[in-house]
Amino acid sequence: MNSDTPSLRLDSLPRHIAIIMDGNGRWAKKRSLNRIKGHREGAESVRDIVRVCREIGIEVLTLYAFSTENWQRPRPEVSALMSLLKGFLRSEAAEMMENGIRLSAIGQIERFPGDVVKVLRDIIDMTRKNQGMILNLALSYGGRDEIVTAACKIAADVRAGRLQIEEITEEVFSNYLYTQGLPEPDLLIRTSGEMRISNFLLWQIAYTEICVTHTLWPDFRREELIRILQDYQKRERRFGMTGAQIKKAPRRQ
C-alpha cells in the first residue's frame, strides 16, 4: 500500500464495494465537452479505482457500468459506451492477469453487440481462475429485472419438480440472482450527489452502508475512496440488532 493510506485498517475493510458511477455527463458539460469525453475520463477513474481496490485487498468490486434504462440514451452515446467498454476490457486484460483479477458480469449481457460479448466472455474465461479480486461489471443490469428473472427461474424449477415451494428461503432466492455466490455489498458508493438507488442491487443492499459523494465520477480517484473507507471503518453495522449484541458478534457474513 502507498504511504498516503496510513490510517486505513486492512483488517476491517468492506469485502464487497459496489459503485454507482454517476456524473460523467455533468463533468463534460462543465468543461463544454461532449458527454462521451466524460465517459472516457470516467473510464480512467475505473482504472484507478480497480487498482486501489486490488491493492488494499477488496474481495469484490461491483461497478454499475450500464443499466437496463441506459439503452434509452441517444444511439451515438450508447455506441460510444459500448466501444469504450470493449476498449477498456482489451486494454486491461493483461493487467487483470498480472494482478490476479477475475472478471465477472451481471445483467442481460446477451443484449450487448456480439463483438463486445465476445471480448467480455473471452476475458471472463481467461481470468476465471484468478483469486485476487473479483471485478464484477453490471451491464444492462436492472435490479427489478434481476428479481423477476430469479422468480421466473424459481417458478420453472418448481414446475419441473426440482424445487419445493417450502424450500424457498432468502438464501435459496439469493442463489437465483445474478450475484449468486458473491457476498452482499458492505459499502455502496454513489458519485455526483443524487440520493437515489437507480435500480441497482435492490435485493443485495438490504444492510449495505451507503455513501453519497458530490464528486463527479471522472474526478473520483484513489484519495477519495480511501477517505470513504476510513469513514466506513468508523460506522457501527448493527444488522437490526443492538450495539451491545454486535460488540459480542461483530461480523455477520
Q: For this structure, is 70 an active site residue?
A: yes
Longest dimension (CA), the chain: 59
CB 59 within 8 A of CB 16: yes
Q: For this structure, is 22 an active site residue?
A: yes
Residue 164 identity: Q
User: Which residue is at the shortest CB distance from ligand FPP?
Assistant: 25
Spatial distance between the Cα atoms of 45 and 22, rounded to a whole number of angstroms: 11
Cβ-based nearer residue to ligand FPP, 88 or 176: 88
Residue numbers at the binding site for ligand FPP (CB under 6 A): 21-26, 39, 42-43, 46, 63, 65, 70, 81, 84-85, 88, 137, 192, 217
Comparing C-alpha atoms, which of 1, 31, 38, 36 is closest to residue 191? 38
- Map grid coordinates 419438480 to a residue: 161
Cβ-based nearer residue to ligand FPP, 36 or 205: 36
Strand ranges across the sheet with 133-141: 101-106, 133-141, 60-67, 16-20, 187-190, 209-212
Cβ-based nearer residue to ligand FPP, 85 or 177: 85
* Residue 84 burial class via C-beta count within 10 angstroms: exposed 0-12, middle 13-18, buried 19 and up: middle
Spatial distance between the Cα atoms of 163 and 15, rounded to a whole number of angstroms: 31
Cβ-based nearer residue to ligand FPP, 127 or 192: 192
Helices (H), 137-240: 143-159, 170-174, 222-232
Cβ-based nearer residue to ligand FPP, 138 or 154: 138
Spatial distance between the Cα atoms of 180 and 184, rounded to a whole number of angstroms: 10
CB of 85 to ligand FPP, least distance (A): 5
Please give the helix or strand (H or E) that residue 105 lies within, else none.
Answer: strand 101-106
CB of 25 to ligand FPP, least distance (A): 2
Set 2, 4, 48, 70: catalytic member? 70
Cite the active site residues.
22, 70
